[in-house]
Amino acid sequence: MKTYKFMLITLSVLFTWAASGQQAINSELTQLVSRSFTYNPRISELQQNVMIQEERMDVARTYLLPSVSASGSYNYVAPVSQINFPVGPGVTQLLRFQPNNNINFGLGFNYQVLDFGRARANVEKTKTEIQQSKDNLEYNKAQLAAQVATIYYGIAYLKSAITVQDSVLSSLAQTKRQAESKLKNGDALELDVLTINSNIDAEQNRKVELETLLDKQRTLLMYSTGVSSINESISDFNFIPGAATGSNEELAKRAEQTNLDFKMAEQRNSLTMHDWNINKRNYYPLISIVGNAGVRNGYQPDMDAVRFNYLAGISISAPLFQGGRYRQQKQLFEATNTLNNLSIATLKRNYERDIAQATADINSYTARLVNVKGQINQAQKALEQTNSRYKNGIAIQVEYINALTTLQRIELSALNFEYQRCLGQIELARILGSKWW
């Protein structure tokens, strides 16, 4: 019976914690979450994507700067056009229209002095993409943190359930010894011993099932964090990620402000606007300053002499007709913008549903934990009385086993209620976008 007293003390710790409203997050859990961020390749992939987006920003900014290019060519041409040109009475001179050896080297300059915001619109779009990639990284970290927390407390629950199961097996073993002693004295039947053995086998099978589930959870923990086990005991079986109080409507509004899923949805809408700003500016004129300087040959009268040359000017280009592309792109933008707004509305509705379900679970299991405390006390007293009557030969062995099983089921229910409430808190923290790690 000492084992049951230990379990009651442990459960009392749980109820005391539940009443105190402790806000601290388990330190071992936060360490595991931090480890998962470096261990999980998905997080590394998203971090690399942030770096790529930042590089794209540097590329986008280069379109605001002038460009200088170098060019060079050499061509040998034969034959070349030529003519004997009279330069005096009876005197002619061979005149070539291009040299055989054509040389041309130079530097080109181009600067868009007026592009009607094309380059700036690309820069603004890239800024939004960088922020979106950063937010996506943090959003996936939050999902991974919730996954690790679920696995962590799953392990804590199964370890606690196995502890309860061990206490049941210990009591059944003690009952078996008592029955065997009574059988030797002729105060019990062999059927009583066989029945106890059957119950022991059944409880052993339940323990094996719990141990199998525990091994699976440890495998998931290894896959997520690189760690295969946890050290904390049931007294640390809690998860309260800050104050999640208020009505469901208030929590839904809070989720819209803090959950990055909403922010990324708004960013998708912004990117659609950026795309439209970029596309419609393609129908505006483009004014550039152009220049070129270098050396080349082919000038009269000495066609083979290499001479310095340059040019400078202004280039203007404007689209006149592109087959109604502007109208089609505008219709596409409006349809996409409508789709984005509908997606945000759907997202809000889904989060309202998820918040209502999470809070309902938390409230339900909190109420059950209050009720189950009295059930445990009653079942414990019933077991003690049945055990005393069984030892004195008043109660039969089946009555004791029933009382023992009843207490076990209630204790496991208490653990399950605590675990399920914990899962509800983890889910609510994920929905609200709480950064608890």
> Phi then psi for 25, rounded to 5 degrees?
-95, 140
Structure confidence at residue 270 (pLDDT): 94
Per-residue pLDDT of the chain (437 residues; tens, 9 = 90+): 444 443 443 444 344 434 434 456 788 889 999 999 999 999 999 999 999 999 999 998 888 889 999 999 999 998 888 888 787 787 887 888 889 999 999 999 999 888 888 889 999 999 999 999 999 999 999 999 999 999 999 998 998 889 888 988 887 887 788 778 777 777 667 777 788 888 889 889 999 999 999 999 999 999 999 988 787 665 556 776 655 678 899 999 999 999 999 999 999 999 999 999 998 888 899 999 999 999 999 888 888 899 999 999 999 998 888 888 888 989 999 999 999 999 999 999 999 999 999 999 999 998 998 888 888 888 888 888 887 886 777 777 677 778 888 888 888 888 899 899 999 999 999 999 999 88
Angle in degrees, 0-180, between the axes of helices 248-258 and 325-391, rounded to the nearest 10: 130
Structure confidence at residue 407 (pLDDT): 85
- 79 DSSP 8-state letter: S
Structure confidence at residue 180 (pLDDT): 80
User: What is the number of residues in the chain?
Assistant: 437
Query: Model's pTM, two decimal places?
Result: 0.79
Residue 62 has which token pair?
């280069």
Q: Which domains does the chain have, with CATH numbers?
A: 2-67+119-290+324-432 (1.20.1600.10)
Structure confidence at residue 415 (pLDDT): 87
Structure confidence at residue 4 (pLDDT): 45
Structure confidence at residue 5 (pLDDT): 44
> Phi then psi for 217, rounded to 5 degrees?
-65, -40
Structure confidence at residue 252 (pLDDT): 93
Picking from 125, 124, 122, 54, the residue whose alpha carbon sits closest to that of residue 271 is 125
Structure confidence at residue 6 (pLDDT): 39
Up-side HSE of residue 78: CA atoms within 13 Å toward CB? 2
Structure confidence at residue 151 (pLDDT): 94
Structure confidence at residue 242 (pLDDT): 57
> Phi then psi for 354, rounded to 5 degrees?
-65, -40
Structure confidence at residue 265 (pLDDT): 94
Structure confidence at residue 195 (pLDDT): 80
Give the span between the Cα atoms of 120 and 113, in whole angstroms: 13
Is 116 buried (19+), middle (13-18) or exposed (0-12) by CB count in 10 A? middle
Structure confidence at residue 272 (pLDDT): 94
For CA atoms 31, 34, 38, 39, the dihedral sign is positive
- Contact (CB, 8 A) for 313 and 291: yes
Structure confidence at residue 382 (pLDDT): 87
Structure confidence at residue 18 (pLDDT): 42
